[in-house]
Amino acid sequence: MDTMPIRQEILKEIDCLPPHIQKRVLDFARILRSTLYEGVPGRDLLRFAGSISPAEGELMNRAIEEACEQVDPGEW
């Protein structure tokens, strides 16, 4: 097993790549980092409570039922 720390190994490999590929590695690392966040605690969302009227909520429920709860058996 290589005793070189992972960060150093990554940097060593990246240094061997052309700049346009290094940019792709950077983009990928940023995508990976963005997946680490788990979201916002519910208590931080309480300020939005009541911001949607009951009528708007009903419209959203109907749209979800009509469009999102449909199963297309031939899709796969």
pLDDT at 27 (0 to 100): 94
Examine residue 26 and state whether it is found in any structural domain, yes or no: yes
Mean per-residue pLDDT of the chain? 87
pLDDT at 69 (0 to 100): 64
Examine residue 74 and state whether it is found in any structural domain, yes or no: no
Rounded mean pLDDT of 30-58?
88
Examine residue 24 and state whether it is found in any structural domain, yes or no: yes
Asked whether the predicted pLDDT for residue 58 surpasses 70, the reply is yes
Q: How many domains does the chain have?
A: 1
The pair phi, psi for residue 57, each rounded to 5°, is -60, -40
* Domain extent for 13: 1-36
pLDDT at 65 (0 to 100): 84
Examine residue 44 and state whether it is found in any structural domain, yes or no: no
Angle in degrees, CA 40, 43, 48, rounded to 5: 85
